[in-house]
Amino acid sequence: MTILSPPGRRRAAQTGPWLVLAAMTLAYAVTFSWLAVVRHLAFQSHAFDLGNMDQAVWATLHGMPLRFTDMQVGPAVLTNRLAIHVEPILLPISLLYLIHSGPETLLVLQALVVATGAVPAYLLAREALGSRWLSLVFPTAYLLHPSLQNALLDDFHAVTMSAAFLLWAMYFLWVDRPAAFVIMGVLAAATKEEVALLVGLLGLVYLMRRPALGAAVFAGGVLWCLLSLLVITPHFNPGGHSPYLQRYAYLGHGVGGVLAGIVLHPPLVFQTLLSRPRLLYLDMLLDPVGFVPLLGLPVLLLAAPTLALNTLSADPTMYSGFYQYSAEIVPYLIVAAVFGVAAASRLAARRGQEGVTRVVLAGLALVAGVAATINLGFTPVSAGYVVPSVGVHQRLEQKLIGLIPSDAVVSAADEIEPHLSDRRTVYLLPTVHPSNGPVAEFIAFDASIPSRPVRPGVFRATFQWALRHGYGVRAARDGIVVLQRGSHTRRLPPDFYSFVFSRGSRITPLQEKTGHLRLIGVTLHPGYGWINAARPAIEVESYWRVSGRLSPAESVQFAVSRVYTDRRPPAPPAGFIGDSPTLTWLPMNRWPRHRTVRVASLSLLPPVTRPGRVDVYIRLSCTAEGFRSASCPSFARPIRVGTVTVRAPG
């Protein structure tokens, strides 16, 4: 006799998973939209690649397809996104600027599109495993992967959206819906040139079912990638090739030279692929899914083009496991995990262990995903992740740059540029007057913080140059400066230096004294005392009091020791760094007496490839122009001000 489930229970079993899927997809989209927009409003976004993406989309809507002007090459600036990447999806995206024009549109769109990838991940798992509830593990693993989370919070990149498009394409391939597969494949290929190769390899899979379509997709993907690399980008780039080819210059010059280098120098290629940083990169990809994708290795190999691009690159960001570079690999990890579990379950069915195997492997992927998002993720529940906030300084910054007219030519610092990029011409400092563009009418920067890709001294030099070439101070407060061409104000107001005298929280008191200078305390960031691959930076705020005249040769410097496990290194490190916004704008011989002066370090980045500890040091250097002044006092030794734990794979 067959016992049937009550109708209500059957409906719950059918609709329940969909309600859970819808809830977590919506929550993910809302959370990462919010985090990305708040990060931007807190001036933590960058010219690369939110500012130039925003300018390209804004310009497209205003009749200048894909125009951007914030990347200098030689004496000129590039004027079209096609000079570096081929991303035609930006063309239809520009229509969204009719609703809201600004970077916020791109950030929200990116989060919404990526979140929808949870749906095909669920559908694929349900088709392959036949279990509605168990299949929820795989969209969850997709949403929890730290690489994808970081890509969503590292500005906007069209290629990040390919994660969802590729998942949809693989689902439609599985259920044999060719029209939908082609649409999603085209959308994926439109996000960046190399994604077309991934779509082309999916066409090879389709050969077994629809030979004509599969061959057409494969040929189309390969041809579009080659057309982008060999024709489109060289046409728009004055150098005749993508500037990013320099990341593979050790293999050869140009696309052909790099490919030839891979074939002709296999020992070099294998040495690179098997280096510890590259192996740790593979660990970063696989660990958040419990290494279950290895059971579906044939699917994982379909991502080989992007894996090769990342692991062979000389740029560490590409094989860090973060930024946008791994977003297109994540869908292959998820689908490989799905089919790996399905294959293992079929093998286990011979011993009557199919159900147990499926639950154990899916559970492993789920537990690994939760652990990864807690330890390395970018959510409010992730260890060490701090939700960005907009404070008094950021509101003041928004007010001051609001003085710049919307149609003015501007040169801005990295973190300010995305707030001024809805215009025809905006440069990234230190570019002020390229050979192929008009001179900037306004210059804007925040001297109180480090700003990539330039060091604090570059802003100071630009400021001095600007005063000699017809610019004056339009507004300046708390380190924020707006210069205007034609203004006659040459001096910075006292309010500009307020950032030098600000006090932080959680100051560790110290009483180290030499001559007229006393180190009274430090604040060490991160305050929780550890760093890892997701949060690798250490920053130091030091607080000083002056009781007499100091030498202009004196300078505060910072350093971290090498990573150690048991015994502390017997000697302080040698590589001290003296750059600091305070020292750049207010040298020590100009420090006022009996006031507390704050000197902050630039980011100190010890290697995070091995677990252990690093010590943080401060010293007072008196070296100037290669000699030591006899009248300049100095600490007899560097001072260790803290120890930070390095959390890394063992």
Mean pLDDT of 219-248: 94
pLDDT score of 626: 41
Mean pLDDT of 460-468: 96
d(CA 59, CA 114) in angstroms, rounded, equals: 25
Which of left, alpha, beta for 277 (phi over 0: left; psi -120 to 50: alpha)?
alpha
In a 10 Å sphere around its CB, with 0-12 CB exposed, 13-18 middle and 19+ buried, how is residue 358 labelled? buried
* Position 455 confidence tier, pLDDT thresholds 50, 70, 90: confident
* Position 11 confidence tier, pLDDT thresholds 50, 70, 90: low
CA angle 391–392–398, rounded 5-degree value: 90
Cβ–Cβ under 8 Å, residues 522 and 618: yes
* pLDDT tens digits, one per residue of 240-264: 888 889 999 999 998 899 999 999 9
* Position 350 confidence tier, pLDDT thresholds 50, 70, 90: confident
Q: Which residues contact 331 (CB under 8 A, 6 or more apart)?
A: 117, 121, 142, 163, 164, 166, 167, 170
Q: Is the pLDDT of residue 362 over 70?
A: yes
Mean pLDDT of 334-339: 98
- 242: amino acid identity, one letter: S
pLDDT score of 296: 96
Q: Is the pLDDT of residue 364 over 90?
A: yes
* Position 632 confidence tier, pLDDT thresholds 50, 70, 90: low
Q: Domain 503-646 adopts which CATH fold?
A: Immunoglobulin-like (2.60.40)
Cβ–Cβ under 8 Å, residues 14 and 387: no
DSSP 57: H
Put the strands of the sheet holding 596-600 in their side by side order: 508-514, 517-525, 539-546, 596-600
Q: What percent of the chain has pLDDT over 90?
A: 82
Q: Which residues contact 6 (CB under 8 A, 6 or more apart)?
A: none
Determine phi and psi for 76, rounding to 5 degrees: -115, 165
Residue 590 neighbours by CB distance under 10 Å = 13
Cβ–Cβ under 8 Å, residues 559 and 572: yes
Separation in Å, CA 465 to CA 71, 92, 217, 468, 497: 21, 41, 55, 5, 20
Mean pLDDT of 91-103: 98
Q: Which of 500, 120, 61, 138 minimizes the C-alpha distance to 293? A: 138
d(CA 580, CA 577) in angstroms, rounded, equals: 9
Q: Is the pLDDT of residue 625 over 70?
A: no
* Position 1 confidence tier, pLDDT thresholds 50, 70, 90: very low
pLDDT score of 8: 59
Q: Is the pLDDT of residue 10 over 90?
A: no
Cβ–Cβ under 8 Å, residues 55 and 422: yes
Half-sphere exposure in the Cβ direction for 317 (13 Å, CA) = 8
* Position 629 confidence tier, pLDDT thresholds 50, 70, 90: very low
Q: Is the pLDDT of residue 575 over 60?
A: yes
* pLDDT tens digits, one per residue of 167-193: 999 999 999 999 999 999 999 999 999
What the block records as the tokens of 393 is 């300084």
Q: Is the pLDDT of residue 644 over 80?
A: yes
Instruction: Point out the least confidently predicted range of 142-156, 318-332, 635-649.
Output: 635-649
Average pLDDT, the chain: 93
* Position 627 confidence tier, pLDDT thresholds 50, 70, 90: very low
For the four alpha carbons of 57, 63, 67 and 70, in that order, the dihedral sign comes to negative
What the block records as the tokens of 28 is 């993910």
pLDDT score of 139: 98
Q: Which of 163, 158, 184 minimizes the C-alpha distance to 173? A: 184
Instruction: Point out the least confidently predicted range of 118-132, 311-325, 369-383, 562-576.
Output: 562-576
Q: Is the pLDDT of residue 491 over 70?
A: yes
Q: What is the CA radius of gyration of the chain?
A: 27
Torsion angle (degrees, nearest 10) of CA 629, 625, 430, 107: -60
What is the model's pTM?
0.94
- Buried/exposed code over 72-86 (b: 16+ C-beta within 10 A; e: otherwise): beeeebbbbbbbbbb
Q: Is the pLDDT of residue 117 over 60?
A: yes
Q: Which of 131, 129, 94 minimizes the C-alpha distance to 109? A: 94
Separation in Å, CA 269 to CA 255, 272, 301: 16, 5, 18
d(CA 471, CA 484) in angstroms, rounded, equals: 5
Mean pLDDT of 211-230: 96
- Per domain, the residue ranges of the chain are 25-376, 392-498, 503-646
* pLDDT tens digits, one per residue of 382-417: 999 999 999 999 999 999 999 999 999 999 999 999
* pLDDT tens digits, one per residue of 495-533: 999 999 977 778 888 888 777 788 999 999 999 999 999
pLDDT score of 577: 87
Q: Which of 116, 228, 93, 247 minimizes the C-alpha distance to 169? A: 116
pLDDT score of 551: 77
Q: Is the pLDDT of residue 635 over 70?
A: no
Q: Is the pLDDT of residue 359 over 70?
A: yes
